[in-house]
Amino acid sequence: MRNWKLFFSLIVLLTHATQVLTQPIVFREYIGANFANVRFSDVPINPSIQFHFILSFAIDFTPGSSPKPTNGRFNVFWDSENLSPSQVLSIKRQHPNVKVALSLGGDTVSDKAANFTAFSIDSWVSNAVSSLTSVVKQYNLDGIDIDYEHFHVSPSVFAQCIGRVVTTLKRNRVISFASIAPYDDGEVQRHYLALWRSYGRVFDYVNFQFYAYDRRTTMGQFLSYFNEQSSNYDGGKMLVSFGTDSSGGLKPENGFFTACEELRKQRKLNGIFVWSADNSKANGFRYERQAQAVLAKA
Ligand X SMILES: *[C@@H]1O[C@H](CO)[C@@H](O)[C@H](O)[C@H]1NC(C)=O
Number of helices and strands in the chain (H, E): 9, 13
Nearer to ligand X, 106 or 143 (CB): 106
Site for ligand X, rule CB under 6 A: 67, 109, 112-113, 115
Nearer to ligand X, 67 or 105 (CB): 67
DSSP 12-54: HHHHHHHHHHHTT-EEEEEESSS-----GGGS---TTSEEEEE
Active site residue 288: no
**Helix, strand, coil fractions of the chain, as percent rounded to 5:** 45, 20, 35
Q: Choosing from 29, 149, 187, 228, which is the catalytic residue?
A: 149
Phi-psi domain of 105 (left: phi exceeds 0; alpha: psi -120 through 50; beta: other): left
Which are the contacts of 241, defined by CB distance < 8 A and separation ≥ 6? Answer: 207, 208, 209, 210, 211, 249, 272, 273, 274, 275
End-to-end alpha carbon distance in the chain: 40
Q: To the nearest whole angstrom, how small is the minimum distance from the Cβ of residue 102 to ligand X?
A: 19
Nearer to ligand X, 11 or 113 (CB): 113
Q: To the nearest whole angstrom, how small is the minimum distance from the Cβ of residue 68 to ligand X?
A: 7
In Å, what is the CA distance from 120 to each residue of 39, 74, 101, 226? 37, 16, 26, 35
Q: To the nearest whole angstrom, how small is the minimum distance from the Cβ of residue 141 to ligand X?
A: 25
Nearer to ligand X, 10 or 113 (CB): 113
Q: To the nearest whole angstrom, how small is the minimum distance from the Cβ of residue 104 to ligand X?
A: 15
Nearer to ligand X, 25 or 118 (CB): 118
The CA distance from 59 to 13, in Å, is 41
Q: To the nearest whole angstrom, how small is the minimum distance from the Cβ of residue 34 to ligand X?
A: 18
Nearer to ligand X, 116 or 205 (CB): 116
Length of the chain: 298
Residue 157 DSSP code:
H
- Amino acid in the structure at residue 158: F
Phi, psi of 174 (to 5 degrees): -75, -40
Phi-psi domain of 83 (left: phi exceeds 0; alpha: psi -120 through 50; beta: other): beta
Q: To the nearest whole angstrom, how small is the minimum distance from the Cβ of residue 110 to ligand X?
A: 7
Residue with nearest beta carbon to ligand X: 112
The CA distance from 117 to 166, in Å, is 17
Catalytic residues: 149
